[in-house]
Structure 1
Amino acid sequence: MHDSSILPHISNPDIVLDFSHLTPASHHDSPYFPRAIIHSMHTDEKIETGFGDKGYGGLPNREFLAINNINDGIMRKDHINAKLTDLEIQRNKSISKFRYIVEQYFGISHLHDNGDKARFPQLAKNTIDLMFRQFAFNLRKGVKIFNVIPV
């Protein structure tokens, strides 16, 4: 078995984790950020903001968002010689309110589904396995939401 890296994407902050790209563990997933955004650009609901954590903060990803007229929702990173301003800290906090769904999926996947390890030697089989795990995650999340909503 081998490790893998998952780049997930959410479209509806209430429920749905709708897209993931599975890569070998030796690949950094930052270059795959545009691929997740492009997937969302071809849906009925157009993407307004591309969210990402500090690992996606490189110039190529920011330029991609600017070229496609998509708001930059990538968190800012603190550097030794350039501390974050109060405005940037508040911006990161507001972005984290959207990103928590992806992080929640990772936590649940690692805790209950052994999601930090690939189950099969082939990437294609792991992709199918990931799709089923995400489908189950969305069902569990949806049931909780719909039980709260009065009929």
Structure 2
Amino acid sequence: MKHKKIYAIDLRTKIPYLPEVYADSAYANKKNDEKLGKQNNKVLHRAYRNTPLTDRQKQENKQRSSIRYIVERTFGLLKQHHGLAKARYLGLERNKTRAQLIAMSHNLKTGMNIFKQMRSLGDCYAQ
């Protein structure tokens, strides 16, 4: 089994203001810590051999995982039901446009479902 080699990405060149970055513990390394700084670094803490996580680190991981879960669930849906698991076209631009259109349609569908739920709740209160 081959291991993925994870590189630090210089996000500051692409995004002038770097928001908080939530990532898996595989991205926990000194290079990424330096690039992200203390404010933006929301990478999960990793336990090492003979060095278990402290209670504070466990609590932080739990909080960060609850935020990552929302994003991971959405990407899983897009991959499984909308075909984002594979690139359909040659070239980055077409695939990028396709992914954006699929994400927009997902957001519209989600918004309509929320609207329907709110509307049905409003009918309950009107009686």
* TM-score of the superposed pair, with normalisation by structure 2: 0.71
2: CA distance between counterparts of 1:77 and 1:145?
36
Q: Equivalent pairs: percent with the same residue? A: 29
1: CA distance between counterparts of 2:110 and 2:6?
26
What's the CA shift for 1:104? 1.1
What's the CA shift for 1:58? 2.2
1:2-42 CA distances to partner (integer Å, 9 max, x unpaired)?
xxxxxxxxxxxxxxxxxxxxxxxxx9675347259826x28
Structure with more helix by fraction: 2
Over 3 Å counting, the alpha-carbon distance change for 1:77 and 1:149 in structure 2 is same
Contact in 2 for aligned 1:54/1:75 (Cα 8 Å):
yes
What's the CA shift for 1:91? 0.9
Unaligned 5+ runs, structure 2: 123-127
Secondary structure of the residue that 1:31 maps to in structure 2?
A: coil
What's the CA shift for 1:92? 0.7
Report what 1:4 is aligned to.
Answer: none
Report what 2:8 is aligned to.
Answer: 31
Larger relative contact order, structure 1 or 2 (CA cutoff 8 Å, min sep 6): 1
2: CA distance between counterparts of 1:37 and 1:98?
23
- Tell me whether 1:51 sits opposite 2:22 in the alignment: yes
* TM-score of the superposed pair, with normalisation by structure 1: 0.61
- Tell me whether 1:98 sits opposite 2:71 in the alignment: no
Contact in 2 for aligned 1:50/1:70 (Cα 8 Å):
no
